[in-house]
Chain A
Amino acid sequence: MTSAKPKLAVWKFSSCDGCQLSLLDCEDELLAVADAVEIANFPEASRAVVKGPYDLSLVEGSITTPHDEQRIHGIRRASRFLVSIGACATAGGIQALRNFKDVKEFTSIVYARPDYIETLKKSTPITDHVFVDFELRGCPIDKYQLVEVISAFLNGRKPNTPPHSVCMECKQRGTVCVMVAQGVPCLGPVTQVGCGALCPGYARGCYGCFGPKETPNTASLSACWSGLGVSNRDLMRAFRSFNAYAEPFRRESEAHEK
């Protein structure tokens, strides 16, 4: 890094745009962030493009086309640090549901002329293609965690984003367990925090936006869900959403696929 401001770039692959929008949703911090870094490539916000290399690249979205499979390598080469943001970039996203099916069938359901569509069989996370310095979880990511990650990388330290389960945060917040008290199926015990344990606070079970926590015991949780009367099919679908292709969730969903 020179004495000039560090260069920040934001890149998009297959996604809903929500995670990069989180940066613009930092209404109170945006101008301060823009003061600390040079926003060198962020098409959603600016038509100006500054050439690389970049000090920090934030990558949103999953790899789903042959072109994107190539493009990500150029971005890696131009970036000192590369951080993938959000469930699409870290686990393939909801569009990774195609990975369990035949993508040709999917194309013909949606498009009249499947021959016009160029797409890969699988939707895969960034880390399947290039080295990733850090993965920020969430569907969507939490904007305060995003600011933490940006500031950590610009200051040469490790981001502080806890890897433990949603349960821990429910306890910290004093939220009564929806599964124990009300028998509501909840993915909290196997899901990483980051959202602030939102769903149980709204009287519903966690549905896994932040993906698997470290060392999740998914089989044990599934047994508890079965005890609440949840069918195998419903269990399979519960693990098969925005982080369906994250390894522990993928294995657990396949265990209930009959």
Chain B
Amino acid sequence: MKSRTIKVDNLARVEGEGALFVKLNGQQVTDVKLRIFEPPRFFEAFLRGRKFHEVPDITARICGICPIAYQMSSCHAIEDACGVKITGPIRDLRRLIYCGEWIESHALHVYLLHAPDFLGYEDSIRMAKDHPEEVKRGLRLKKAGNEIVRLLGGREIHPINVRVGGFYKVPEKKDFSALAEELRWARDAALETVRWVAAFDFPDFDRDYEFVALRHPDEYAINEGRIVSSKGLDIAVREYDLHFAEQHLSHSNALHSRLNEREAYFVGPQARYSLNFEKLSPIAKEAARAAGLGPVCRNPFQSIVVRSVELVYACDEALRLIERYEKPDKPAVNVEPRVSTGFGCTEAPRGICYHRYRLDDRGVILDAKIVPPTSQNLKTIEGDLWQFVESHLAVQKDKLQWQCEQAIRNYDPCISCATHALRLHIESE
């Protein structure tokens, strides 16, 4: 039997740089490697010696697409170390700015990065020629998310208003009125989005995944909760290192995460949805049902539908938070450093983002650990490709290559995050 390879040297429509390499021997896949050649940036190393209040501004720079995720995980971890818990309107504002990031990031992925695969376009600009209304809707949705981030954070990328303990300045209730108007439009547009993507064609695909996400008793978890999985894991954030390990493989500048007992796992919108469906708002649940999704969704190609359902939820939740907002007396809670280690984990648009910091008595960082969502999904993405290629060998090579890229984009991988990239090679022996 002849051997062959599928290669993508420079994966497009992902954040960062990577390549895919699949090796085949006859009908069997013999190797799958998602090569991450995005250069390493050493955040954990240069965080040592910085003061704790500098951390959120520095970790934001790990990712231009989801800086809030890094700022929030950092703040929670440092507050945990210092014995501070944020409640009331400041907690709500954090959840609100995070909703903004979900909307901005999900709209970017659904409309500009992923939908072109389903409709057969190289990119969204080309797609816009035939589907101008949809692309305009996506851009306006993205902008609505960015408006939340800008109002609370000062700017969309690397916001300047987030600090340990809260914010530098908080808005007046009336500052939200124009935004609320736009968010009501955005919620309707998100519902339209769900209907639009639900009609796409999805390859039949299913694996026995272990979903991992935060779970909170009172809400669809974003900033806080216990780390749970679909195979029975249920731990406090501070127990993360006991259950998860990072591996360093030769083909990747991103560390691969795995669960100690069971290897690969799956984080992100689909994991959150499948573990916390009951906590979605009624309108988001209804949209999911109408799109034909059950309370658990195991086909990663349908992630675009799940992401759209989360768009509905994030708009709805943002409106709820704005509705009940009352300006707090102070924009931030005072946080005093102490000798301690703190842990934080929040739901980045792409899945759980774990931070751990050890502080001395003056608040200097002695040690830092950051695990972004994409490194946690790398093993699962490789597993998907393995199975997908084996069951689609009859597909013509160009088409198969494109479908492999699409299978990777199911996870909205952020390679800049994972190295704190992607290319495709499919080779047959």
Contacts and interface: CB of A to CB of B under 8 A. Distances in A.
Real binding pair? yes
Nearest to B57: A207
A111 B41 contact: no
Contacts of A207: 57, 160
Nearest to B70: A16
A198 B40 contact: no
Contact of A48 (B65, B122, B168): B122
B349 to A, nearest CB: 13
Contacts of A237: 50-51, 54
A22 B150 CA distance: 13
A111 B146 contact: no
A25 B144 CA distance: 11
A47 B168 contact: no
A199 B57 CA distance: 12
Contacts of B65: 17-18, 21
A209 B39 contact: no
B64 interface: yes
A117 B126 CA distance: 38
Contacts of B412: none
B123 A25 contact: no
Of A110, A111, A113, A202, the most chain B CB neighbours within 10 A belong to A110
B157 interface: yes
B62 interface: yes
Interface stretch (B8-16, B207-215, B284-292, B339-347): B8-16
B70 to A, nearest CB: 10
Interface residues of A, number: 62
B158 A109 contact: no
Contacts of A98: 42, 45-46
A191 interface: no
Given A28-B143, A202-B168, A234-B51, A47 B108 contact: no
Of A46, A68, A119, A241, the most chain B CB neighbours within 10 A belong to A46
Interface stretch (A37-45, A220-228, A247-255): A37-45
B48 interface: yes
B42 A18 contact: no
Interface in A45-72: 45-48, 64-65, 67-68
Nearest to A111: B248
B64 A46 contact: no
Contact of B46 (A31, A94, A113, A139): A94
Interface stretch (B134-142, B260-268, B298-306, B351-359): B134-142
A31 B146 CA distance: 18
A179 to B, nearest CB: 15
Contacts of B160: 198-199, 202, 204, 207
Interface of B: 10-17, 37-46, 48, 50-51, 54, 57-58, 61-65, 67, 108, 112-113, 122-126, 128, 135-136, 139-140, 142-143, 146, 154-158, 160-161, 163, 168-169, 246-250, 253, 255, 331, 402, 405, 414, 416, 420
